[in-house]
Amino acid sequence: MAFEKHGIVPDVIDKAPPKVLDVSYPNNISVAEGNVLTPTQVKDQPTVTWQASCDDYYLLCMSDPDSPTPKEPIFGEIKHWLVGNIPGNDLSKGDVLAEYFGSGPKEGLHRYIFLLYKQPSKIDFMEKRVSRTSREGRIKFSIRNFAKQYNLGDPVAGNFYQAEWDEYVPILHKQFEQTA
């Protein structure tokens, strides 16, 4: 219901995931289906857990569909984190397609969405790997199209929070400027 209420369905995915993904940041900060967190609170990679069989592979995505502003999201989704071929729920053994970077909204309250897909098998992803400090390949991402491309089906779990500008945002954006 929260995914529909906040427009994630249909903006990002076609139907809400059946399960809530457990996402927690340092200092006991949890993502709770639309709660508001600050960029400072989410600057470090979170711990993400789910029920899984060790014989299955999963893909985890985090994206922001509200860039540069929620009223004019002309950049489409921004890929904040993408990890595929995760064996069971051991995220540390997955194939990092895009390293994590936290929230950096310039204006308005943005939605930051975590989606988990069960892969049909291990996949040879053709994506260029994206470092934490690179913007390349992050803008105009679509998890809906990505999931279709790799036959991932619908997400099996998800969660999201909202964030707006705070004093950490310029620090985050400076990381990109130094590598440009």
pLDDT, tens digit, for every residue of 52-64?
998 999 999 999 9
Rounded Cα–Cα distance for residues 59 and 94 (Å): 8
> Given this model, what pLDDT does residue 180 score?
44
The 10 Å CB-count burial string (b at 16+, else e) for 47-72 is ebebebeeebbbbbbbbbbbbbebee
Distance CA(104)–CA(80), nearest Å, equals: 10
Q: Quote the domain boundaries for residue 161.
A: 2-179
Handedness of CA 61, 10, 124, 67 (dihedral sign): negative
The residue whose two tokens read 């002309």 is: 74
Number of structural domains in the chain = 1
Site of tokens 């540390």: 92
CATH number at residue 129: 3.90.280.10
pLDDT given at position 110: 97
pLDDT of residue 178: 56
CA angle 140, 45, 133 (to 5 degrees): 50
Q: Which residues of the chain have pLDDT under 50?
A: 180
Q: Global pTM? A: 0.96
